[in-house]
Amino acid sequence: MRIWLFSFICFGMLEASPISTPLLEIIGEQGSIQSPELKVGMSGFVVRHFDNNHSTIIANARVATIDATTNRALVNLSTYDGLRQNSLPSGTWKPKVSDEVVLAYDYERALLIAPNDETYDAITKNIPNIEWVHPDTYATYLSHEGHPTPLVNDFHRFCTAGSVGLLYVQSADTLFTLDCKNFALLQTVPSLNTKNDFMTPFYSRVPSIRAAWWGEGSSRLKNYEPYYLEQIALKNTNNKELYELYKAKFSEKSALLRNFNVKE
């Protein structure tokens, strides 16, 4: 059973190669691009090329909508937050037509949130072309933050600092693939937990994550599956595919379904 299951996963995985395409048009705080490889939610950045030898990143980019008939997409543009150095001046460039948009730049590096060691090993060994960042590293980061319950912002900060592009979350017989920097859902595939035990907040070899005295994330996570399902739902309220998946599998969890803003 396990061989069939993870062969199916390998067949359907996202490509990890970066996508590079020029800005075709600027529309307010959005830009227009075109590529057949785009998915809603993909993150990246805008590059300004000053000449053949000099360039800099000037903005964040995230795919907002895609016209499937033309492969043309709108990307939300915002202030770049991948590098911070308060002692140095920063540029005030605004994206313009012909600037380069680079998406899925770090998608060859991924973090997997799994409920136990067997599930972690089974998934990581059967998804090719991925450099896995071990969850021990993330658990150590959470201990520094005092968050035994990981927050979405923790994923964003950790993945931005560590150049980690993809986040995989194994939950409820499904492997969710998300953009690690913005928690946008990119793909779902069937995947079973190889045994029934659940480590909290996720599988790692770190014996304990330090808890802060107070504040969001400082309490210890009691239930693995409901927490991650809710976080994914809250950050993808317009995703009709995710809504239908939840409706079919988790209809008794009415609180999850109320998070969505999609029409029946």
Domain termination site, one of 103, 134, 153: 103
Residue 102 has pLDDT above 70, yes or no: yes
Task: Answer yes or no: is 262 within a domain.
Answer: no
pLDDT in tens, 169-225: 999 889 999 999 999 999 999 888 888 889 999 999 999 999 999 999 999 999 999
In the chain, the number of structural domains is 2
Which residue, chain included where needed, has tokens 């062969």? 7
**What average pLDDT does range 145-168 have in this prediction?**
96
Of 39, 69, 103, which closes a domain?
103
**Is residue 158 predicted with pLDDT exceeding 80?**
yes
Q: Where are the alpha helices (DSSP H) in the chain?
A: 2-11, 117-124, 135-145, 152-161, 224-234, 240-249, 254-257
pLDDT score of 13: 58
**23 and 7 fall within a common domain:** no
Looking up residue 55, the CATH number of its domain turns out to be 2.40.10
Q: Are residues 64 and 161 in the same domain?
A: no
Q: What is the pTM of this model?
A: 0.90
Using one digit for the tens of pLDDT, what is the confidence trace for 66-93? 999 999 999 999 998 877 767 766 778 9
Domain that holds residue 35: 19-103
Report which residue type is found at 105.
Y
Predicted pLDDT at 14: 66
User: Rounded CA gap, 176 and 123, in Å?
Assistant: 12
Give the closest residue to 202 by CA, choosing from 174, 168, 250: 168
Contact between 17 and 104 under an 8 Å Cβ cutoff? The reply is: yes
Whether 173 and 60 map to the same domain: the answer is no
Per-residue pLDDT at 8 exceeds 60: no
For residue 263, is it within any domain?
no
Enumerate residues 6+ apart whose C-beta is below 8 A from 48: 55, 56, 57, 58, 93, 95, 99, 100
